[in-house]
Amino acid sequence: MSSIDYGTYAKDFSNWYNNEDFYELRTVSDLCKIFDLCKFSTNQFIQAFTIISKKFSSTEVATISQHVYLQSFVSKESAFEALDFISKITNNESINGILNYLKSNTVKNGKNKKYLLQCDISPDSFDKIYNILSNACEEGDYETIKFAFKNGYSKVSTNEDGEYEYFDSTLLFAAHQRNDFELVKQLSIFSDICTRNSLEAVKCKYSHLDVGVTPDKMYCKSPLHYAALNVNVEVVKYICSIKKININLQDMLGSTPLHYGALNRNVDVIKFLCSLKGINKSVVDYQKKTPLHYAVLINNVEVVKYLCSLPEIDINAEDNDGFTALHYAVENDNVEIIDILSKKK
């Protein structure tokens, strides 16, 4: 019997790390030896172990994960995302506790709160609050965004009468208009448990608490819009199993769950959404932005790669400003995405 050339597999890592068939043929020992020779990005790690966690026991997953080397993180957010994912796939509460501690004690985390506290929740402070929260997103200061939700700053309105009832007066609308899609993502994440809680919690909400699946009144978002931002693809699958879920529903921005899936770093989420019968892969929002525009605007490389592999995706689609996805990739100076899009033209 010929021996396995682990080095060759390691060199070819980018071609199989998200291939379910590859893992079907491997043992725990095989994967450990191959992974000893690989370097993972955060996205590759999440995609690979989403598959591995379905095929191996939690003990085996923990064993395999010990042989993973994660490359330098592109941001603090990506490091937290990796830790959060590890805690979930290994059912390790101690890691989750450490993660929560790090989030609450990171030097930058929450540093923008003091600027919020200097603002009134009034139309005159709208732009100031917007800029503080946008800056917090850029710095990975999610504690400040959470604080804004808990203390009403996220409800600041441009309406002179102070009423928070017109969508075009909201922070979410402003972020969308200004192409600040990282802020769009974070404002949505803190709006509903489907974006961040476990599958068990989401199941409890919809099966035991008699909560409906009708879109919310303010944003016209369904549970699937929010679930599409959850790193756990099983949450998305569960929400899709609920009757009367409209997989192509557009919210007040014209965005569908597929648009929000394009903002999710776990490419398995958008892969699942694209596999649904009747999903509109060519959909555009009210600014004529496609899911590909969204992925490019937050430098979501793996999702860009996947979307570009689909024949239904028009990479030359222009939004209301006449910008294609490539225009935004150039603006962001993301060489990897520029290369991906240029090869498809």
Residue pLDDT, tens place only, 113-164: 999 999 999 889 999 999 999 999 888 888 899 999 999 999 898 876 545 4
Check whether 2 has a pLDDT greater than 90.
no
Q: pLDDT, tens digit, for every residue of 65-115?
A: 999 988 766 667 778 888 888 888 777 778 878 887 776 665 456 789 999
Are 120 and 266 found together in one domain? no
Whether the CB-CB separation of 33 and 65 falls below 8 Å is answered with no
Percent of the chain exceeding pLDDT 70 equals 91
The token pair that represents 10 in the structure block: 């390691």
Residue 1 lies in a domain: no
In sequence order, the 6+-apart residues with CB closer than 8 A to the CB of 261 are 228, 229, 236, 269, 270, 273, 291, 303
- Length of the chain counted residue by residue: 345
Are 18 and 163 found together in one domain? no
Average pLDDT over residues 194-222: 81
H or E segment to which residue 225 belongs: helix 223-227
Report the pLDDT value the prediction gives residue 108, as an integer from 0 to 100: 59
Count up the domains in the chain and report the number.
3
* Domain end call among 185, 206, 234: 185
Average pLDDT over residues 223-234: 94
Average pLDDT over residues 273-295: 97
Residue 340 lies in a domain: yes
Check whether 304 has a pLDDT greater than 60.
yes
Residue 172 lies in a domain: yes
Report the pLDDT value the prediction gives residue 166, as an integer from 0 to 100: 54
Q: Tell me the pTM.
A: 0.69
Report the pLDDT value the prediction gives residue 51, as an integer from 0 to 100: 93
216/223 Cα distance (integer angstroms): 9
- Higher-confidence residue of 9 and 212: namely 9
- What's the Cα-to-Cα distance from 306 to each of 113, 234, 269, rounded to whole Å? 37, 19, 11
Are 94 and 152 found together in one domain? no
Are 152 and 238 found together in one domain? no
Are 173 and 244 found together in one domain? no
* Domain end call among 138, 167, 185: 185
326/318 Cα distance (integer angstroms): 10
Are 258 and 303 found together in one domain? yes
* Domain end call among 185, 215, 237: 185
Are 314 and 198 found together in one domain? yes
Check whether 281 has a pLDDT greater than 60.
yes
Are 214 and 335 found together in one domain? yes
Cα 162 → chain centroid:
32
Whether the CB-CB separation of 245 and 257 falls below 8 Å is answered with no
Residue 328 lies in a domain: yes
Residue 197 lies in a domain: yes
Report the pLDDT value the prediction gives residue 101, as an integer from 0 to 100: 76
Are 101 and 129 found together in one domain? no
Are 40 and 55 found together in one domain? yes
Are 117 and 60 found together in one domain? no
Q: How confident is the model at residue 1 (pLDDT cuts 50, 70, 90)?
A: very low
The token pair that represents 304 in the structure block: 């860009």
Whether the CB-CB separation of 263 and 300 falls below 8 Å is answered with yes
Among all chains, which residue has been given the structure tokens 């929000």?
260
Report the mean per-residue pLDDT for the chain: 88
Report the pLDDT value the prediction gives residue 107, as an integer from 0 to 100: 47
Q: Which of 32-41, 60-69, 71-80 has the lowest mean pLDDT?
A: 71-80
Are 127 and 87 found together in one domain? no
- Higher-confidence residue of 214 and 119: namely 119
Domain enclosing residue 153, as ranges: 113-185
